Amino acid sequence: LQGEFEEAIVAMRRAIESDAAERAAYDEAGGWQQVELKTRSLGQDFALLGRLYELAERPREAEAAYEQSFAMNPDLRVALDGLSRLTYADGRLGEAARWSMLLLERLPSHVRAMLIVAEHAQTIDRDGDAATWYRRAAETTTDPTLRQQAVYRLAWLLATSPVEAVRSGNAAREYAVWLVRDTGQASPYAFDALAAADAELGRFDDAIKAAELALQLAQQYELTDLAKAIEHRIEVYRAGEAWRDE
């Protein structure tokens, strides 16, 4: 299968070279309409090349091809989607958010792009914007996994944000309760969010109970880092304090 991708990449590069030569000929002859059409066609070619590089597990070359595609045809959503996905996977959240915003301008219902924009907003202390994007993602998606992800992040943000105007313990608890049910009471993250919401509401006994359930599940799934974080939060709740993400 890997060999088939490599063969397809070679063929696509040859097609791009041929199209580029045709565009140069049109340009020399002053055929601006043909140049424009060929340029947009090359944008599609580079988008396909980017996808082939992705399938061949060559992300750097895929990113370069998608950038070429975007330069030649900025309206191609497949190139923006690829750039958003690749830069996010590489840990470049700011770049991923920029590509995601461009993608959302062309495809407002793209839920994964919403989640990336929301996550970036949190890192630059724009929790209100993050909450808006998480809420929009939760309301837009038809994918159960993406909805759970969006609801979890929204519940957690509403319960733990350092920005008082963003926090809403009641709303956070509603989302967390839904998440606990939707995950079949099997997600440590759902119970962790419920505990944070209860603590925000001053219901510390309930917060401790939910956090202890979250801890049991985290230990069961061998989520060591999460388990340690929950243990710390339990001590905070026992001290009669809500959790804040600083």
What confidence score (pLDDT) does residue 246 get? 81
The Cα–Cα gap between 29 and 21 comes to 12
Q: Is 64 exposed, middle or buried (0-12, 13-18, 19+ CB in 10 A)?
A: middle
124: which DSSP letter? Answer: T
How confident is the model over 149-168, as pLDDT tens digits? Answer: 999 999 999 999 999 999 99
d(CA 110, CA 221): 31
Distance of CA 121 to the CA centre of its chain: 12
The Cα–Cα gap between 20 and 17 comes to: 5
Q: What would the pLDDT profile of 57-80 be if each residue is shown by its tens digit?
A: 999 999 999 999 999 999 999 999
d(CA 62, CA 83): 9
Pair 153, 111: CB distance under 8 Å: no
Distances (CA, A) of 226 to 211, 214, 239: 11, 9, 20
The two structure tokens encoding residue 38: 């060929």
Q: 182 by DSSP, 3-state: which?
A: helix
What average pLDDT does the segment 204-209 reach?
Answer: 98
The model's pLDDT over 177-200, given as tens digits with 9 standing for 90+, comes to: 999 999 999 999 999 999 999 999
Task: Pull the structure tokens for residue 78.
Answer: 């497949």
For residue 1, what pLDDT band results from cuts at 50, 70 and 90?
low
Supply the mean pLDDT for the chain.
96
Residue 24 scores a pLDDT above 60: yes
Q: Residue 3: pLDDT above 90?
A: no
Closest CA to 121 of 135, 108, 110, 109: 135
Which of 3-7, 28-32, 63-67, 164-168 comes out lowest in average pLDDT?
3-7
pLDDT band, residue 4 (cuts 50/70/90): confident
Residue 142: count other Cβ atoms within 10 Å of its Cβ. Answer: 8
pLDDT at 2 over 70: no
Closest CA to 98 of 73, 72, 124: 124
